Amino acid sequence: MDNGRGRSAAITEKNKNHLILMQYLCFSCIYVLKLIKKRESYRCAFLFVLYICAPDKNTQYYRFMKKMKFVALTLTLLMGISLTSCFNSDGDDSSYDAYTFATVSQSYLGSPILIADDGVTTLYPTNSSALLLSDGVSYPQRVYVTFKYAEGESYQENKTSYNVTIVNASVIYTKNFNTQPDTLANDYSVTSIEAWGANKYINIYFNVNYSSNIDFDMYEKEVGNDDTLYVKFNYSKGGGDSSSSYYTNYISFKLPTDTDVEPKNDSIWVKIFAKGSGSQVIEKNVRLRYPY
């Protein structure tokens, strides 16, 4: 005989699911609002909350929320690329004044400087040790930095160089082009990618499923009759049918100097191909100064 407990339990579970869904939507709204205020760190917090709150994988609700996560990740990717640099915080109260992706170079005095991804701004860190790798002597090739303007400095339109104090520096994984693509045993599918070109690098913001240590490659496919270089973004390690965890991050590939492309001016188009789910092929286009 039905004593009502089954129905009561079902209603409770339904309410619980609705509550979780509302939490997800609230976090999403907060995330978008904070991102508009140029607090990019909220993107990381949003993704963290999104993925540690996964419901039971054996329910239809889980499958629905998995789709919701994908939509949220796509939104995150699209917004993230539009915020590769920000030099004017508009008075926003923050532990830092601005942020940017940048390539680490050297000044004529030998100290590290940062060439921002906007292509025109150079940053001179007053605390260059904040950029050092764990060996204490070498510097990375690519970084994402948040910084404060040095005393007496402030953002000015059309100004192209600043003395800054690094607040935080995150190393961007960098690789050269693979010159032996025939040796790549795997090409796993990626969920999505976004791309931009800056400072000799093709930069990829990727979202993948993974099950072990991952790695990626990029190699030249061909040179078009126009000034276009066709390249392949290859998910080489860590994927496969058993992959169930999500991972998103950045990777930068240095454009080689010995390509056969003959630019008509001072830059070229790079068309990037990646294997998507099923038979899908993902394509992205970036513009890069070449030769450099």
Q: For 173-186, what is each residue's pLDDT tens digit?
A: 999 999 999 999 99
Residues 11 and 65 in one domain: yes
Stretch 14-25: mean pLDDT: 48
| Predicted local confidence at residue 204, as pLDDT | 97
According to DSSP, the residues that pair with 122 across neighbouring strands are 115, 161
| Predicted local confidence at residue 39, as pLDDT | 41
Residues 253 and 285 in one domain: yes
Q: State pLDDT tens for residues 245-266.
A: 889 999 999 998 877 787 778 8
What CATH number is attached to the domain comprising 121?
A: 2.40.50.500
Report the chain's terminal Cα–Cα distance, integer Å.
Answer: 80
Residues 101 and 141 in one domain: yes
Q: What is the mean pLDDT of the chain?
A: 77
Classify 195 as helix, strand or coil.
strand
Q: State pLDDT tens for residues 209-222.
A: 988 889 999 999 99
What CATH number is attached to the domain comprising 208?
A: 2.60.40.2370
Residue 98 has pLDDT above 60, yes or no: yes
Crossing angle between the packed helical segments 41-52 and 60-81, to the nearest 10 degrees: 170
| Predicted local confidence at residue 1, as pLDDT | 43
Boundary of a domain, candidates 136, 171, 206: 171
Residues 214 and 267 in one domain: yes
Q: State pLDDT tens for residues 267-284.
A: 899 999 999 998 999 999
Residues 91 and 65 in one domain: no
Beta-carbon contacts of residue 274 (< 8 Å; ≥ 6 apart): 190, 193, 232, 233, 234, 235, 281, 282, 283, 284
Q: State pLDDT tens for residues 144-179.
A: 999 999 999 999 999 999 999 999 999 999 999 999
Pairs from 32-40 (Cβ < 8 Å, separation ≥ 24) = 32/75, 32/79, 35/79, 35/83, 37/92, 38/83, 38/86, 38/89, 38/90, 38/92, 39/92, 39/94, 40/80, 40/83, 40/86, 40/99
| Predicted local confidence at residue 290, as pLDDT | 82
Beta-carbon contacts of residue 195 (< 8 Å; ≥ 6 apart): 81, 202, 203, 204, 205, 272, 284, 285, 286
Residues 207 and 230 in one domain: yes
Quickly state the pLDDT bin for 292 (edges 50, 70, 90): low
Residues 200 and 116 in one domain: no
Residues 219 and 129 in one domain: no
Residues 119 and 14 in one domain: no
Boundary of a domain, candidates 62, 81, 100: 81
User: Where is mean pLDDT largest: 36-50, 104-118, 183-197?
Assistant: 183-197
Of all residues in the chain, the percent with pLDDT exceeding 90 is 52
Domain count of the chain?
3
Boundary of a domain, candidates 65, 81, 97: 81
What one-character-per-residue DSSP string does 205-264 give?
EEEEEESS--EEEEEEEEE-SSSEEEEEEEEEES-STT--EEEEEEEEEEPPS------S
Sign, CA dihedral 281-282-285-286, equals negative
Residues 188 and 276 in one domain: yes
- Give me the count of residues in the chain: 292
Residues 76 and 123 in one domain: no
Stretch 22-40: mean pLDDT: 47
Residues 272 and 243 in one domain: yes
Containing domain of residue 61, as a range? 5-81
| Predicted local confidence at residue 66, as pLDDT | 43
Q: State pLDDT tens for residues 67-87.
A: 444 444 444 444 444 456 677
Residue 56 has pLDDT above 60, yes or no: no
